[in-house]
Amino acid sequence: MNSSDISEDLNVLLARFLDFLYLERNLSLNTVKSYRTDLNLFFAYVESKSRPSLRDVDQNLIIDYFSFARRTGLSHRTISRYLSSIRSFYKFLIDEDVVQKNPAENLNSPKKGINLPEYLTLEEVELLLSMPKENTVLGLRDRTIIELMYSCGLRVSEVVDLKITSADFNSGCILVFGKGKKERFVPFGEKAKKLLDRYIKWARGILLKGRISESLFLNFRGEPLSRKGMWKIIKGYARETGIKKNIKPHILRHSFGTHLVQNGADLRAVQELLGHADISTTQIYTHLDKGTLIDVHRRYHPLESGAVKRQPRPELSDPLRDHLKT
């Protein structure tokens, strides 16, 4: 293996590594695909540096790669994920007796800046919701999807996986399967309830075209709506609104979390609703915009609010003033 080409090593070993992640570590297919993408990018860089073997990858080369990644504008979070992928792959290679050392073992993840999620104002959410035409089959479907995503704070993958039996109209909750197939019940609002009821009773039957399907949301062919299809729907209506923000499906989830926290919701409750494993993930929704911070500062800081009266500065005598100038 010392003298073999890195691409030949990689084709076999990477396939075995991905099988290991999927079959033994029980990671999701999307996560496994992310590992594959991360590692293919890294080893394309390695080959560009004329390193002939997996054993020729050292700590300095990985550091150079991350410097290159930063110059291309990649975020700290993405670079941290790349490092994790490389470290895990080399740990696998050690376990398989392919290499003796893990070149990523002693490298620390770059410090993360505070990346506040972009979110929509309530007025912008209302504008986005007003775009689909409810008197058409696809318009009602789309309005229902957007309303449900904002009402429940759902991920795209969670909406795609919803079944016709997921919604319980009596309790006003929907059964959602989140990351790692963890299930949670999320309440949905009255607007979402009415839209969902109309969609199921009218639009969905038309979309089915006589077929049988367990999926709640269908495309115009009567097949389960895909993640890609969901993206196209949201992006299409986003363009119609004229809103300048980068509106992607996940922005509705961010808006849900932000609006709940800003209106006084308990952080633990928001964590449960969003299906976060760690409350530190939920804490990002405690951010405030600059306008709110300025208003709070003016209203509550004792010197700004007038709670403490400033005493006028005493006038200095001429000799003292002249002394201070020197």
The string of pLDDT tens digits covering residues 240-267 is 999 989 899 999 999 999 899 888 888 8
The string of pLDDT tens digits covering residues 104-131 is 988 877 665 556 678 999 999 999 999 9
The average pLDDT across 176-202 equals 93
Cα–Cα distances in Å, from 49 out to 1, 44, 56, 72? 18, 9, 11, 17
Q: What is the predicted pLDDT for the residue at 116?
A: 66
| Domains of the chain by start residue, with CATH | 6-95 (1.10.150), 122-286 (1.10.443.10)
Q: What is the predicted pLDDT for the residue at 115?
A: 61
| Residue 312 pLDDT exceeds 90 | no
Q: Which residues are catalytic?
A: 155, 179, 250, 253, 276, 285
What is the pTM for the complete model shown? 0.60
The string of pLDDT tens digits covering residues 137-171 is 999 999 999 999 999 999 999 999 999 999 999 99
Say if residues 10 and 55 touch (Cβ distance below 8 Å).
no
Ramachandran area for residue 255 (φ above 0: left; ψ -120 to 50: alpha; else beta): alpha
The string of pLDDT tens digits covering residues 30-80 is 999 999 999 999 988 888 887 767 888 888 888 888 888 877 878 778 888
Q: What is the predicted pLDDT for the residue at 7?
A: 55
Cα 52 to chain centroid, rounded: 37
